[in-house]
Structure 1
Amino acid sequence: MKREAGCLNREICKILGSLLLLLAVGLTASSWLMLAFISTDCTQPDCLQPLSEQEPPLTIFVSVASYRDPECKTTMQEMFAKAANPSRVFVGSVQQIYEFHEACWHTGLPWGDHIRTITIPFADAKGPTNARHLAAKLYRGEDYFMQIDSHTSFIQNWDNEVIAMLDRCPSDKCFISHYPPAHNDTGSVQVPVLCKSHFDEGAKMPSFEAMAFDFAPGEFADSPFAGAGFQLSSADVLLDVPFDPKLDMMFVGEEILYSARLWTKGWDLFAPDKNIVKHHYNRVETPNIYRDRTEEWYYPQQEANKRARFILGMNETAPPGETESSLKYYGMGDVRSLDAYWEYAQIDVKERVANSAEKFCKKRVKKREPEPEQSRPEPAVKQKKKPEKTSLRSMLSVHIPGFRRR
């Protein structure tokens, strides 16, 4: 009898289907057997956890404002070279330059993708305060904030040191700042503390100086002043006390204004308990905005000083178009009063008398109070723990070395 073509096709399909089914079963069984016998060198619980369940590394945002600084490249290179974990370091760099060789960095260098840069022709630069405002705009959600000058050197493992220092600090709103020691001061380990103040006759605002003391780790000296050359805190400060963009060419008044704003916003100011960086002072041969643009900086600086004196409550009229209400975002906080700040800093702005040294130029040590031990009472009835569900991803993370959830 002659077979029909349709019947022949059905038999072939049955045979092929059976073969495919056997192949699928065999592959599935071998896969599970392979998973069962794969070994792993991972013995620590944390490396068996999916990536999404691990704590991400703490990150540091470093603000660097540079004006035609030939040392800026060295500062950037050393910042990453001396970090224990350079992958956690991110930089907001504002470089005000004349030619490319004055640039701080370029993307071809190691860690170049961790540096966010705003480049300004030096003829358009508006001074250090404006540059710090622009650098802060490069912040992208890092955990900590640190500000340095572009001619700075670092201790080894500085990133670990600053995080540990903030953990030791005796305040939940800790702002650490001072004038770092000089770069050629190789022998001393004493920490400069901003403790002296006097009135600058040109700016008609308080300025300050430092004295050095010995401190052990965890010993912090409180200070009413924040220096611009080294600042360290939680990155919350960038949103809580934003840098004022309308202080063009300001120099002397920058630090006293920011100090008062920090303190009235509830931030507690301290010197570090250890020197993290050193600073190159007296750079008389390097380019300087006030020498490069001698005929351009004076008037904007006078206007900025007036603005600062008004915000500081120093018998100054409001800048044109500005009121106390319009300046509130860049003004004082409401946690502590401005009058309380002047009293704390021992400065009489009406009589222009500063007695800060009598109070702060002594070894004043504050330490973090130990955390109280909280007893956990045993529950009356212990609940039976529910068995955890096992997913294919969790099995893979256990049996395959290096597997992580993406």
Structure 2
Amino acid sequence: MALPEVPKGAGVGVGRHLGENLNLAKDEWSVENIDEAQIPAIADTLRRHVPKSPSGANGAIQVPDHKWPASVRYENNFETIVHPGDGHTTMSVPKFWSPPIHNGVLMTRETAMKVGSCNEPDKVTGSIVRGDDCPPDERTIYFAIASYRDFQCRYTVESAFLRAKNPKRIRIGVVDQIVNGEDPACDEPIEPCDQNPNQALCLYKDRVDVYEMEADLSVGPVFARHIGHRLYRGEYYYTQSDAHVTWTQDWDADIIQQMEDTRNEMAVLTTYLTDVQGSIDENGHSLRNTRPIMCNTDYEGGGNQASHLRHGSQPERVPTIHGVSQMQPYWAAGFSFSRGHFVVNVPYDALQPMIFQGEEMSIGIRGFTVGYDMYAPERSVCFHHYAVGNNAKTRNKVPHFWEHARTYKGIGIKAMDRLLGIVHMNPEVDPTSWDHTEEELYGLGSVRTPEKFYETFGIDVVNKKTENHLCRFVDKGGMHRQFTKLLRPDGMGVDYDRITYKFKDPAPNEPR
């Protein structure tokens, strides 16, 4: 299907919003009001009761009711939090649909099947919660976008709906960080609906929830995606991408098929996306037969910013493993597709402002400890608009949240200490020195330990080193062949208790 052409210049077409945006941050913010002495106390202002896993009288996990179609626009289910960057601006945000449901142990398949709406009810019971009995073409998808002043956000929305095989089962939640009057809103149609009613933002406007937030309050992707997780309402699948992505034809059916082919309820399909240029034909079909795989990382930082892992460029080749997505160790924020319970069990941390590098290790390792397994999709279903080639001029005009770095100076250092502490990556640091607020909600599972992850994949958190050439084990299929044999019979993840493998650099004298 033909999509609207992306304009050559950014910031085109600022105008009326369609629908009712969730513009709920109180306008108390100003640069002059920020006092660096407040920074250590910010977490104290955010302390709230941490919700427990919801259990019934017999100890069984109770999952909230599902609704479809779903929207948070007309709910009264909101709570007030304090902005994690300045410590005093209050924000009304949707409550999480559910606290984590793993209950501190490996989630049962029975519990997992209680999460996920179907866009058609069961003909006998009338229930939209049908577990595996819900046909794949009727399973709902929640797509989360965190956008910072990005004129392409609405083009991403258009692409996702118009190229879906079943757009009626898709719901999109956008955290839109913009400057009113300068930036187009993500739910604003590219053309007026009376002139072009076939746009996705006209046809499916009720399936788009936008939490609009003043750009001055942006403290990076982690907090924005945290709010995006709060917009989730029990959909069967969850996906996230950046705000400047183009999807392929029938992407929803394709990625669901790839997910189900893993036969792993705890699978997360995730990767760094390939550039869009030369990747999609005029009919929306992919021109690529290669795929990136996540296996390359190393330490960076030191000094004021604690040493942390940063994923580098990833190998992209024709898959070694055919007919199924391939196991990999790392998670990528730019594209992730999973069952909806991944959002419930591994919510983005509200207390990691001004974090960019480190986000992926936080979610990936926390997910690992809850029992999730990462896979590289065999086929790409969307492509990224990088600031290169023909897109360089346009994309380089889009602002970044770092324009507020001076305003929130010092916040990211403390947030990184918390991030690393939660995932046991800074054992040299006194645990009492970093903030443990709501660690039960934003912390680890108990299915696996972070230490198991580090020893398996050659990460030395004491000396801040990694074993090189991990991609030789991952990209060539060694990890996939060895580890998938240990998938639990009920499909609830790989049993790492049976894994004794510890990666060592096979070529220590060769360059990376």
What TM-score does the superposition give when structure 1 sets the normalisation length? 0.73
Partner of 1:93: 174
Larger radius of gyration: 1
Higher fraction of helix: 1
CA contact (8 A) 2:421 2:434 kept: no
Q: 2:248 aligns with which of 132, 144, 155?
A: 155
**SS of residue in 2 equivalent to 1:204:** strand
- 1:43 equivalent in structure 2: none
Q: Deviations over 1:340-379 (max 9, x none)?
A: 011122111111111253354532174878999xxxxxxx
Indicate yes or no: 2:273 matched with 1:180: yes
Partner of residue 342, structure 2: 237
CA root-mean-square deviation: 2.7
Partner amino acid for 1:155?
A: T
* Structure 1 residues 99 and 304, CA gap change in structure 2 (3 angstroms): same
Whether contact under 8 Å (2:148, 2:401) holds in the other structure is yes
Q: Which stretch shows the higher mean deviation, 70-79 or 358-367?
A: 358-367
The alpha-carbon deviation at position 114 of structure 1 amounts to 0.2
- Give the AA of the match of 1:344: T
Q: What CA distance in whole angstroms lies between the structure 2 residues aligned with 1:337 and 1:307?
A: 17
**Which stretch shows the higher mean deviation, 182-191 or 167-176?**
182-191
Matched, 1:273 2:355: no
Q: Does structure 1 retain, via aligned residues, the 8 Å contact 2:293–2:376?
A: yes
Instruction: Specify the alignment match of 1:364 in structure 2.
Output: 477
Distance in 2 (CA, whole Å) between partners of 1:129 and 1:309 is 14
5 Å-filtered alignment, 1:300-339, equals: 300-313=411-424, 314=426, 315-318=428-431, 322-323=435-436, 326-339=438-451
Residue 32 of structure 2 is matched in structure 1 by none
- Is 1:68 the counterpart of 2:168 in the alignment? no
Q: Closer, same or farther in 2 for the Cα pair 1:158/1:70, shift >3 Å?
A: same
Q: CA deviation at 1:51?
A: 9.2
| Counterpart secondary structure, 1:141 | coil
Q: Distance in 1 between matches of 2:308 and 2:160?
A: 34
CA distance in 2 between partners of 1:265 and 1:106 (Å): 38
Question: Helix, strand or coil for the counterpart of 1:269?
Answer: strand
- Unpaired runs of at least 5, structure 1: 1-45, 373-406
Q: How many residues align?
A: 323
Change (3 A) 1:356 1:255: farther
Task: Tell me the residue number matched to 2:404.
Answer: 293
2:187 counterpart letter in structure 1:
W
Give, in angstroms, the shift of residue 171 of structure 1: 2.1
**Counterpart position of 2:502:** none
Q: Which amino acid aligns with 1:317?
A: D
The answer for unaligned runs of 5 or more in structure 2 is: 1-119, 129-133, 194-201, 280-286, 388-394, 490-512
Decide which of 186, 191, 203 is 1:104's aligned counterpart: 186
For residue 195 of structure 1, give the secondary structure of its aligned residue in structure 2.
coil
Q: Percent identity?
A: 26
Question: What CA distance in whole angstroms lies between the structure 2 residues aligned with 1:274 and 1:184?
Answer: 16
TM-score, normalised via structure 2 length = 0.59
Distance 1:328 1:262 in 2: 14
Regions of 4+ moved over 4 Å: 53-56, 367-372
Structure-to-structure mapping, 1:46-65, within 5 angstroms: 52=126, 55=134, 57-65=138-146
2:307 maps to 204
Secondary structure of 2:203 counterpart: coil
Structure 1 residue 140, shift from structure 2 partner:
1.2
Cα separation, partners in 2 of 1:203 and 1:177, compared to 1, 3 Å? farther
Give the distance between the partners of 2:406 and 2:488, measured in 1 at CA: 57
Matched, 1:346 2:446: no
Q: CA deviation at 1:185?
A: 4.2
Corresponding residue for 1:382?
A: none
SS at match of 2:255: helix
